Amino acid sequence: MKKLLLFLIPILYGLAYGGEQIQIEFEYPSITGDFYVAGTVFFPPAAAPDLKKILVMDKDTREEIPSKIVVQDNWPDGSVLSAEIVFPANSQKKGKYIIFYGDDVERKKSFVEAAVLPTVSFIVPGAGTTVENMDVSVGQINVRVDRSTNIRYWWYILPVFFLILLTVLRTLRTIRMQKL
C-alpha cells in the first residue's frame, strides 16, 4: 500500500499542477499594504498557446492570484513569446509566487484595470535584468568653439536681409496702392 501511495502522489500532483512553472523573485517595498508586482516573462515556443494558459499562483497555498496579463509578442505558431504580467501583493502577508503555464493550465482570476498603487518589478531567475538608467563610456568628445567674425559664419544674415527687404518693399507698394 505504501508503494502504491508513493507512486500515486507524484502522479496526482502532476495531474493537478501539470503545467510548467517559473519562480518570481522581487523585493518587498518598505511601504505597508497593497502594491502591484509587474514584469515581463518570456516563454518557449508552443509552451503557452494563449493568455488563458498562464496564471500566477501563491507557491505555499497553491491559490491562484488575480492577474493582468498582456501579450507583448507571439511566436510564428501563434503561441505567446513574451507577456507583461501584473498581479497584486501585500507587504504584510509576504509570500512567494510562481507562474504556471502550459496546456493543462486554465486561468480563472484576472483583472483589466489596475488601481493606483505602487509597483515593484519582478525578475525571473536566469533571465537578464532590465536597466532603467545606463551609463556608457564613449570616449572623449572634443568641441571647438570658434568666435571668429569670418563671413562664412554669418551666412544666414543674407537670406534674412532679403526677406526683410522684400517685406518692406511690399508694404510700401501696398500703401501706394491704397492712396490711389
pLDDT digits (tens, 9 = 90+) for 85-106: 888 887 778 888 888 888 888 8
- CATH code assigned at 41: 2.60.40
Q: Residue 60: inside a domain, yes or no?
A: yes
CA proximity to 70, closest of 18, 113, 115, 103: 113
User: pLDDT: is 153 or 66 the higher one?
Assistant: 66
pLDDT digits (tens, 9 = 90+) for 130-152: 555 556 677 777 777 766 666 66
| Number of domains forming the structure of the chain | 1
Cβ neighbours around 143 below 10 Å, total:
4
Note the Cα 2 to chain centre separation in Å. 49
Q: Residue 169: inside a domain, yes or no?
A: no
Q: For residue 39, give its domain range.
A: 19-121
Q: Residue 98: inside a domain, yes or no?
A: yes
